[in-house]
């Protein structure tokens, strides 16, 4: 029982981050459906007592869709829906992560992430 409590406590402090990188950068209006997907995923995670949040960051040289979660495998359906929408919009992207990170004041160790996986549209 103590082991299970410790496992749950350790899991609560875990944070994972991953990112879609879109190159070339995309204009803000193209992300309407993806924003809706991100909102729905966040609401569903909150209802389940989980952490999941996603943001679109538009820069001059690249666009990112950043996701922070406590379980990178919890929302595979959301990831597939994001990728499907990116394909529909004819956007090439790379997926980086997931990489574990620690918030200040936590004891979680940082795990090095794998190199980005390039994903392209399949004709």
Q: Which domain holds residue 22?
A: 2-112
CATH number at residue 38: 3.30.70
The better pLDDT of the pair 43, 9 is held by 43
Residue 119: inside a domain: no
Q: What is the pLDDT of residue 55?
A: 94
Residue 100: inside a domain: yes
The better pLDDT of the pair 54, 75 is held by 54
Residue 121: inside a domain: no
- 55, containing H or E segment: strand 52-58
pLDDT tens digits along 19-35? 999 988 888 888 999 99
Residue 117: inside a domain: no
pLDDT tens digits along 84-117? 999 999 998 999 888 887 766 655 454 454 555 5
Q: Name the domain count of the chain.
A: 1
């Amino acid at each position: 029982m103590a082991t299970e409590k410790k496992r749950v406590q350790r899991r609560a402090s875990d944070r994972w981050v991953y990112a879609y990188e879109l190159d070339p950068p995309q204009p803000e209006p193209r992300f309407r459906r993806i924003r809706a997907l991100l909102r729905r995923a966040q609401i569903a995670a909150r209802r389940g007592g989980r952490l999941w949040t996603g943001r679109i960051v538009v820069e001059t040289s690249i666009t990112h869709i950043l996701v922070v979660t406590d379980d990178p495998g919890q929302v595979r359906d959301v990831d597939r829906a994001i990728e499907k929408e990116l394909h529909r919009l004819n956007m090439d992207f790379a997926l980086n992560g997931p990489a574990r990170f620690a918030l200040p004041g936590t004891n979680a160790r940082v795990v090095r992430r794998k190199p980005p996986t390039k994903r392209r549209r399949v004709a």
